[in-house]
Chains A and B, each alone.
Chain A
Amino acid sequence: CDGQSYRLQKRMGLHSENHYKAEGKSSRAEIQCRGIYADLLVMVLLPCVLFSLIIYRCAYTLCTQMPRNDHSKELYDKYRETIEEHVNSMVLPSLKGKHGELMLRELVKGPPGVWESKGCCNRSGECCCFDCMLVFLPLYRLIVTFFNQIGQERNGEQIDQALLKKVLDIYVEVGMGKMDCYEKNFETMMLQDSAAYYSGKASIWISEYPYADYILKVEECLKQEMDRVSHYLHSSTEPKLLEVYRFVLSILRFVIISAESTIYNMCTQKPPHDYSQQLYDKYRESFEEYITSAVLPSLREKHDEFMLRELVKRWSNHKVMVRWLSRFFHYLDRYFIARRSLPGLNEVGLTCFRDLVYHELNGKVRDAVISLIDQEREGEQIDRALLKNVLDIFVEIGMGQMDHYENDFEEVMLKDTAAYYSRKASNWILEDSCPDYMLKAEECLKREKDRVSHYLHFSSEPKLLEKVQHELLSVYATQLLEKEHSGCHALLRDDKVEDLSRMYRLFWKIPRGLDPVSNIFKQHVSTEGTALVKQAEDAASNKKADKKDVVGLQEQVFVRKVIELHDKYMAYVNDCFTNHTLFHKALKEAFEIFCNKGVSGSSSAELLATFCDNILKKGGSEKLSDEAIEETLEKVVKLLAYISDKDLFAEFYRKKLARRLLFDKSANDEHERSILTKLKQQCGGQFTSKMEGMVTDLTLAKENQSNFEEYLSNNPNINPGIDLTVTVLTTGFWPSYKSFDLNLPAEMVKCVEVFREFYQTKTKHRKLTWIYSLGTCNINGKFDPKTMELIVTTYQASALLLFNTSDTLSYQEIMTQLNLSDDDVVRLLHSLSCAKYKILTKEPNTKTITPTDHFEFNSKFTDKMKRIKIPLPPVDEKKKVIEDVDKDRRYAIDASIVRIMKSRKVLGYQQLVMECVEQLGRMFKPDVKAIKKRIEDLITRDYLERDKDNPNIFRYLA
């Protein structure tokens, strides 16, 4: 009944399939109900012949409907499910329940419908059925049963050969055209079983039969096996089976010879009849004989790739043989070998191959492999799998050790590789440009890496790559990097970002490979920077000849260019050189080189401070948006890191900041604070504390001023009648200013007194020092044409007010009345009598001031403006700033030395200098000579002494 239902299904399926494929064919049948369809399928499973026609008809109608009613698909799926269900529910349980021959019969009987459906049924139906079978069948039982059957036959029993044939057909058919299933699941094991069987048999026969009989027996066995193949084994098995058979016999031949006529006592006898040793020796000899008679000749007559193929084949055969034989002689392994601590059978087998085949051929093999590798390097297609197998031999022959692979193959291969690439590189370096060369090198490295992953042993990768890198990169590094028109310099010059990245990637892997690259980078950057310095220098000297005031602008441009340069190469470091510290260092050093050069007499610290001033002050030369200003300031602060004289910058910056704050020139308070924050972040709180104090002072001063005004309005009797604004600054925060005792005019003296009184009310303990040189005055000049308002400095105002009491004054009179130095007097008189506005007339009327001059109020003076500002050129402060910084440095060095010595007590000179430089390096780069002078000074002042015995050591004197 089962079979019937299968047939039915098959037919139904046939239709379903046909119509499923030919969708769209119309039919008049009108069965629509799914319920009916389901019922029908249930009926399909009923083992009823009578229904078959009806079901067939139903299925036909189901499949031939209009598309929307077409159930072909469902039917198709159901078909598959049905089969699976059938296998699971009927076939498998029935198989599991049976054993031995009965099981085989059941297997063969069970699904004939399925086998027969082949050809007219859909492939997937078949497959799923087989899958189920194979998955659920207790495969090992099948095999065991099968072998039992063969065993029985060998023992002379009659078995059902047709049955076995059918079972094996299943194996073949399951493969659906391929032999995998048969070979894997059956043949291999069958061969092993045969080998085991015959070696067992042979040992018995040899002891039971005389030689001649034994031979007959063997021949008979051979014939039987041949029959077996022709009757039920697959024809492809024949040669394999024969080879096993022959091999087994060839080993056993020794038994025939040694045992001659009597018994094969093997090794179980008591000495002197124990043949273990002979057996063991014979085991080896049989391999040796086999190898010399069969393997070597076949290998010797072949060459190159063919030899490699043969070798791979022979090796895999050999391994199989060794496995089998060592199983046959397992007894030896267990007792004899263990007792005598001889090499194991497996080892002996491999050693035979190694000593006879490998040792003879390894050179040849290696050369063949290397020549194949070289062919591949030249772009030819080669059989990579073959190489992989050959190289595995080198590894396996070592039996756990890599010696053979390393010594016999790898070493020579590496040498060859080196030679190959050395040859290539020597051509490329001459023919190719640096970028092309690097492209090739990168490609080669990639391919070598590929090579390792495909067929070399993984342990070769570092060695191989190292060799290639050495030949391609290390050897020619200098030549490559310094190629005149395409080397590293040129790449940097032409902004070849990609090539530079490649260069980094390549040289990064070589030990110290990046050093020359970073050196060139450093050189390049410093050359560019130095060129900027030179450019600025030239421009400055040219401009000086033309017009003086443009010089500032020129320096402005210089700082801008330096910033741009920094941006550009910082991007290189980040992108091309992946932020490698070596390149950060190179960039830093390069910038340090030219940033500390200074342009036309101005140190870069000063230039930077001036640059900041220009950005931050009102009406500076730069017109920038707030964001741009922020960004620029950020960059300036970054540049500051490269400047060693940070203290000098601080001093200049403070001077400029003071001017901005005191003369109300600061454009934006926020920017002032923002740059201070940035400086603080970079250079520490100590660096900016004074500057911050200055900004705070100014805020406090504003408050103070409004308090003062309130005070005046509360005490009208003391009001001096002049508007007075006083900015109180904290000593120490601000740059030091000269505070000469200028003789103020009486009116101003009164102002000063009033303010001092006011200030006394606030605090008793503070001393006010007046710095008149920073003051400005607005005074009215009653000239004959009109009255004008003059904006002058306090010095100028004091001088002018002298003329309220006398018409003419001599230079000397002015000087004594004002109590000023010659320098100051000359400067301010020049501004009043020789500059643009001649408020005073000078006698004699020359362009310079001499101590013999006389001055008179110029009542005729006039100007089209009502309000004019008479500038007093500021004293050049640069020298003073530098001197101040120098003095501060001496203190700083002293403090640092004492600090170090206080903690160390005794210290060598070199170390002291080193630590001192390190401590002070954040602010400036102290000169070693200066440190030495300070040390000597401290010795004189008894802070330190030299060690009595070693003048290079200093001691701290508490």
Chain B
Amino acid sequence: MLVRQGWSLEYESLDTGVELWTLLSACICSKSLVRRQRNIGIKMVEESDPYADMILADGISLLCNDIQVDPQDIVMLAISWHMKAATMCEFSKQEFVRGLQALGIDSLEKFRERIPFIRSELKDEHKFQEIYNFAFDWAKEKGQKSLALDTAIGMWQLLFAEKEWPLVEHWCQFLQARHNKAISRDTWSQLLEFARTVDPALTNYDAEGAWPYLIDEFVEYLLENGIQKVQLSDWTH
């Protein structure tokens, strides 16, 4: 089956162990299964299918099973970042193989063993920033310039649960109440900067600074509602 799908040649050159074969076959089997089920009744060979060499949602859930990770776990984002995945819930063959190579993984066992390390990388300020910025492109709809608000809020909740920014809930509420539009890349990346540099009591916030207007308005919102004080006490606990 692998040979038929044209993967074998690359794997030979990869010089990987037997277990990886198992791993991959597990994933790809399931993916092919999905493909075939979807294309039922249509005489379509695997090679002409644009998703032929892709791991899609089902494949990923199988993969998660194998490496014993919750698909909602933020570590999946970190893995995607390692894979340099272009889109959420998808890995292309190239992304997957290069990613594993870079991580030095050639067996499921090794993959499982690597998870704690990948998780620890989220604690690294610099790497977190890269992952954060990666998440924007990863999560947005292809062909769009900005990120849909719902997706963005989901991502933020995921990311800031890791990063622990006390204002994240207010931010999301504010966006839903006042903004309700897609989020630009600039706003996305500046929010992390804001979360990192401005303390939650807003004491070092500079209204004259170049913060995106959405963040300015958020600050106004906080001040209007007298929230930042409450937050301050929460934060200090």
**B213:A909 contact, CB within 8 angstroms:** no
User: Which residues in chain B, 186-237, are within 8 Å of chain A measured between CB atoms?
Assistant: 186-187, 189-190, 193, 208-213, 216
Give A643 to B216 CA distance when docked, in angstroms: 28
**A939:B213 contact, CB within 8 angstroms:** no
Q: Mark A939-952, 1 if CB is under 8 A from B, else 0.
A: 11000001000011
Closest to B184 in A: A940
B185 contacts partner chain A, Cβ-Cβ < 8 Å: yes
**A952:B210 contact, CB within 8 angstroms:** yes
Q: How far is the CB of B166 from chain A (nearest CB, A)?
A: 21
Contact among A909, A929, A933 with B210 in the assembled complex (CB-CB below 8 Å): A909
User: Which residues in chain A, 893-946, are within 8 Å of chain B measured between CB atoms?
Assistant: 909-910, 929, 932-933, 935-936, 939-940, 946
With a cutoff of 8 Å between Cβ atoms, the chain A residues found around residue B210 in the complex are 909-910, 932, 935, 946, 951-952, 954
Closest to A951 in B: B193
**B209:A909 contact, CB within 8 angstroms:** yes
**B187:A936 contact, CB within 8 angstroms:** yes
Q: How far is the CB of A148 from chain B (nearest CB, A)?
A: 96
Known interface pairs A910-B208, A951-B193; A940-B185 also in contact (CB < 8 Å): yes
B110 contacts partner chain A, Cβ-Cβ < 8 Å: no
Known interface pairs A933-B213, A951-B193; A939-B208 also in contact (CB < 8 Å): no
**B213:A929 contact, CB within 8 angstroms:** yes
Closest to A947 in B: B210
Give A933 to B145 CA distance when docked, in angstroms: 16
With a cutoff of 8 Å between Cβ atoms, the chain A residues found around residue B216 in the complex are 929, 932
Q: How far is the CB of A65 from chain B (nearest CB, A)?
A: 106
With a cutoff of 8 Å between Cβ atoms, the chain A residues found around residue B209 in the complex are 909, 952
Q: Mark A669-683, 1 if CB is under 8 A from B, else 0.
A: 000000000000000
With a cutoff of 8 Å between Cβ atoms, the chain A residues found around residue B208 in the complex are 910
Known interface pairs A940-B146, A940-B184, A940-B186; A932-B193 also in contact (CB < 8 Å): no
**A940:B145 contact, CB within 8 angstroms:** yes
With a cutoff of 8 Å between Cβ atoms, the chain B residues found around residue A951 in the complex are 190, 193, 210-211
Q: How far is the CB of A912 from chain B (nearest CB, A)?
A: 9
User: Which residues in chain B, 109-145, are within 8 Å of chain A measured between CB atoms?
Assistant: 145
With a cutoff of 8 Å between Cβ atoms, the chain B residues found around residue A940 in the complex are 145-146, 184-186
With a cutoff of 8 Å between Cβ atoms, the chain A residues found around residue B184 in the complex are 936, 939-940
Give A910 to B145 CA distance when docked, in angstroms: 26
Give A829 to B146 CA distance when docked, in angstroms: 47
Q: How far is the CB of B92 from chain A (nearest CB, A)?
A: 26
Q: How far is the CB of A708 from chain B (nearest CB, A)?
A: 51
Closest to B210 in A: A909
**A932:B212 contact, CB within 8 angstroms:** yes
Give A939 to B183 CA distance when docked, in angstroms: 13
Known interface pairs A940-B186, A946-B186; A932-B146 also in contact (CB < 8 Å): no
Give A929 to B216 CA distance when docked, in angstroms: 9
Q: How far is the CB of B183 from chain A (nearest CB, A)?
A: 11
**A936:B213 contact, CB within 8 angstroms:** yes
Closest to A933 in B: B213
Q: How far is the CB of A135 from chain B (nearest CB, A)?
A: 85
Which of A909, A910, A940, A951 has most chain B Cβ within 10 Å?
A: A951
Give A951 to B189 CA distance when docked, in angstroms: 10
**A936:B146 contact, CB within 8 angstroms:** no
Q: Mark A745-774, 1 if CB is under 8 A from B, else 0.
A: 000000000000000000000000000000
With a cutoff of 8 Å between Cβ atoms, the chain A residues found around residue B211 in the complex are 951
Which of A909, A936, A940, A952 has most chain B Cβ within 10 Å?
A: A936
With a cutoff of 8 Å between Cβ atoms, the chain B residues found around residue A910 in the complex are 208, 210
Closest to B187 in A: A936
Give A366 to B187 CA distance when docked, in angstroms: 76
With a cutoff of 8 Å between Cβ atoms, the chain A residues found around residue B189 in the complex are 946
With a cutoff of 8 Å between Cβ atoms, the chain A residues found around residue B145 in the complex are 940
Q: How far is the CB of A315 from chain B (nearest CB, A)?
A: 69
Give A541 to B208 CA distance when docked, in angstroms: 39
Give A302 to B210 CA distance when docked, in angstroms: 80
Known interface pairs A910-B208, A951-B193; A932-B213 also in contact (CB < 8 Å): yes
With a cutoff of 8 Å between Cβ atoms, the chain B residues found around residue A929 in the complex are 213, 216
Give A932 to B184 CA distance when docked, in angstroms: 14
Give A933 to B184 CA distance when docked, in angstroms: 12
Closest to B190 in A: A951
Closest to B206 in A: A952
Give A932 to B208 CA distance when docked, in angstroms: 11
Q: How far is the CB of B121 from chain A (nearest CB, A)?
A: 21
With a cutoff of 8 Å between Cβ atoms, the chain A residues found around residue B212 in the complex are 932, 936
Give A932 to B207 CA distance when docked, in angstroms: 12
Give A946 to B212 CA distance when docked, in angstroms: 11
With a cutoff of 8 Å between Cβ atoms, the chain B residues found around residue A954 in the complex are 210
Give A932 to B193 CA distance when docked, in angstroms: 17
Q: Mark A527-550, 1 if CB is under 8 A from B, else 0.
A: 000000000000000000000000
Give A909 to B210 CA distance when docked, in angstroms: 6
With a cutoff of 8 Å between Cβ atoms, the chain B residues found around residue A946 in the complex are 186, 189-190, 210
Closest to B214 in A: A936
Closest to B194 in A: A951
Q: How far is the CB of A280 from chain B (nearest CB, A)?
A: 77
Which of B145, B189, B210, B213 has most chain A Cβ within 10 Å?
A: B210
Q: How far is the CB of B132 from chain A (nearest CB, A)?
A: 14
Give A939 to B210 CA distance when docked, in angstroms: 13
Q: How far is the CB of B42 from chain A (nearest CB, A)?
A: 40
With a cutoff of 8 Å between Cβ atoms, the chain A residues found around residue B185 in the complex are 939-940
Q: How far is the CB of A206 from chain B (nearest CB, A)?
A: 93
Q: How far is the CB of A940 from chain B (nearest CB, A)?
A: 5
With a cutoff of 8 Å between Cβ atoms, the chain B residues found around residue A935 in the complex are 210
Give A169 to B225 CA distance when docked, in angstroms: 111
Closest to B217 in A: A929
With a cutoff of 8 Å between Cβ atoms, the chain B residues found around residue A933 in the complex are 213
Closest to A930 in B: B213
Give A193 to B79 CA distance when docked, in angstroms: 119
Closest to A939 in B: B186
Of the A-B pairs whose beta carbons lie under 8 Å apart in the complex, a sample of 28, sorted by A's number, is A909-B209, A910-B208, A910-B210, A932-B210, A932-B212, A932-B213, A932-B216, A933-B213, A935-B210, A936-B184, A936-B186, A936-B213, A939-B184, A939-B185, A939-B186, A940-B145, A940-B146, A940-B184, A940-B185, A940-B186, A946-B186, A946-B189, A946-B190, A946-B210, A951-B190, A951-B210, A952-B209, A954-B210
Assuming A909-B209, A936-B213, A946-B186, what are 13 further A-B pairs, CB within 8 angstroms? A932-B212, A932-B216, A933-B213, A935-B210, A936-B187, A939-B184, A939-B186, A940-B184, A940-B185, A946-B189, A946-B210, A951-B190, A951-B210
Closest CB pairs A-B (n = 8): A909-B210, A952-B210, A932-B213, A939-B186, A940-B184, A933-B213, A936-B212, A951-B193
